[in-house]
């Protein structure tokens, strides 16, 4: 899956450079400059967060004594700290495990949860940006039989390919066969139309591929981000969502109300996930590549009903 993500992302970037950027040149210098700066910033953030999510270990309980234990893992035969769950794919217990992501080929846990979320956010923004930017070119290629804009301005390459297609016809055809060419694009031999040159077909296929792929990724990531926004705003992981749901139903049957002990409100929940507590800047640590660690060691957690004394454990969340 990691190879597939890399190949798809690389294909979108290459097509954007070859087909979309030349199209923006016709719309003005400053708009092209914006596309170059904004597009490269997005690309850097996508690549950074993705590879950090892939190569950052999500965290696992250390051997020996633990400051807090809530249960025993039946597979690892080892104590589990709060919010720790066993991953059957990685065959280990993961601190604050959210889920095992096949696209990262890694578990999403305490130390790489932020990278996973930010990768999804920047990939969604990037997909929407490319889809919107390529939409006029997509309409031009899709509706018009002869597109008004040909992004391939390398006329020497076009001419070479056209001549390569036409020259064999002159050699193989008798003198009395009429050859008609219009801008070296369509060749008629005995009233049979030879297909358009490869580059024009390539332009159509690449623009169609770019637009449809980005629209599909944008829609899929939108649904995923809505789901994770709900989880983060409630201060729970994907696994904890199912646990809390069943626990709330059990307490409701007894006339009681369940309260998630790790829910500090939407704003604080996001600040804790993104590591923005204690003077960290959103502009520096989120909008630019940052390898800052999450607060806490993933072994002990403060709760909304009982807050540990930070002076006794400065790494405690």
Q: Which has more pLDDT, 110 or 176?
A: 110
pLDDT of the residue at 171: 47
Decide the pairing of beta strands 92-94 and 85-87: antiparallel
pLDDT of the residue at 310: 47
pLDDT of the residue at 125: 97
Confidence of residue 90 (pLDDT cuts 50, 70, 90): very high
Burial of 213 (0-12, 13-18, 19+ CB in 10 A): middle
Say whether pLDDT at 77 is over 50.
Answer: yes
Q: What is the arithmetic mean of pLDDT over 80-108?
A: 95
Residue 183: phi and psi, rounded to 5, are: 55, 30
Burial 93-107 (b: 16+ CB within 10 A, else e): bbbbbbbbbebbebb
Say whether pLDDT at 31 is over 80.
Answer: yes
Q: What is the mean pLDDT of the chain?
A: 82
Rounded Cα distance between 220 and 232, Å, is 19
pLDDT of the residue at 148: 58
Residue 109: phi and psi, rounded to 5, are: -140, -155
Q: What is the arithmetic mean of pLDDT over 140-151?
A: 66
Say whether pLDDT at 168 is over 80.
Answer: no
CA atoms within 13 A on the CB side of 163: 6
Residue 85: phi and psi, rounded to 5, are: -140, 160
User: Which residues are the active-site residues?
Assistant: 101
pLDDT of the residue at 183: 40
CB 138 within 8 A of CB 149: no
Torsion of CA 217, 221, 223, 229, to 10 degrees: -170
pLDDT of the residue at 279: 77
CB 99 within 8 A of CB 120: no
Confidence of residue 105 (pLDDT cuts 50, 70, 90): very high
Q: Which has more pLDDT, 317 or 29?
A: 29
What is the percentage of the chain residues whose pLDDT exceeds 90?
A: 56
Confidence of residue 23 (pLDDT cuts 50, 70, 90): confident
Rounded Cα distance between 203 and 186, Å, is 16
Confidence of residue 81 (pLDDT cuts 50, 70, 90): very high
pLDDT of the residue at 205: 87
Residue range 240-276, pLDDT digits in tens = 999 999 999 999 998 889 999 999 999 999 999 999 8
CA torsion sign, 257 to 245 to 273 to 75? positive
Residue range 180-231, pLDDT digits in tens = 343 434 444 444 444 456 667 778 888 899 999 999 999 999 999 999 999 9
Burial of 117 (0-12, 13-18, 19+ CB in 10 A): buried
CB neighbourhood size of 116 (10 A): 26
């Amino acid at each position: 899956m990691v190879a597939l993500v890399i190949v798809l992302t690389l294909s979108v970037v290459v097509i954007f450079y070859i087909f979309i950027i030349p199209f923006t040149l016709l719309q003005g210098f400053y708009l092209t400059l914006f596309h170059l700066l904004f597009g490269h910033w997005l690309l850097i953030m996508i690549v950074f967060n993705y590879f950090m999510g892939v190569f950052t270990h999500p965290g696992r309980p250390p051997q020996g004594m633990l400051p807090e234990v809530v249960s025993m893992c039946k597979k690892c035969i080892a104590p589990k700290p709060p919010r720790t769950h066993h991953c059957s794919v990685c065959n280990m217990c993961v601190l604050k495990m959210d889920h095992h992501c096949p696209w990262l080929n890694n578990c999403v846990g305490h130390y790489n949860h932020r990278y996973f979320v930010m990768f999804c956010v920047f990939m969604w923004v990037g997909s929407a940006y490319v889809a919107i930017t390529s939409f006029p070119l997509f309409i031009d290629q899709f509706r018009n039989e002869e597109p008004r804009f040909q992004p391939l301005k390398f006329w020497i390459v076009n001419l070479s390919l056209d001549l390569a297609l036409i020259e064999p016809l002159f050699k193989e055809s008798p003198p009395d066969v009429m050859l008609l060419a219009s801008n070296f694009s369509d060749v008629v031999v005995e009233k049979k139309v030879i297909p358009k040159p490869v580059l024009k077909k390539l332009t159509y296929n690449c623009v169609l591929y770019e637009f449809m792929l980005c629209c599909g990724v944008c829609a899929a990531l939108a649904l995923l981000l809505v789901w994770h926004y709900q989880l983060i705003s409630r201060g729970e992981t994907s696994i904890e969502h199912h646990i809390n749901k069943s626990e709330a139903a059990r307490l409701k049957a007894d006339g009681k109300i369940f309260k998630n002990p790790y829910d500090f409100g939407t704003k604080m929940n996001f600040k804790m996930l993104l590591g923005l507590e204690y003077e960290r800047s959103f502009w520096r640590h989120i909008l630019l590549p940052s390898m800052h660690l999450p607060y806490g060691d993933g072994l002990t957690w403060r709760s909304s009903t009982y807050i540990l004394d930070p002076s006794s454990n400065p790494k405690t969340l």
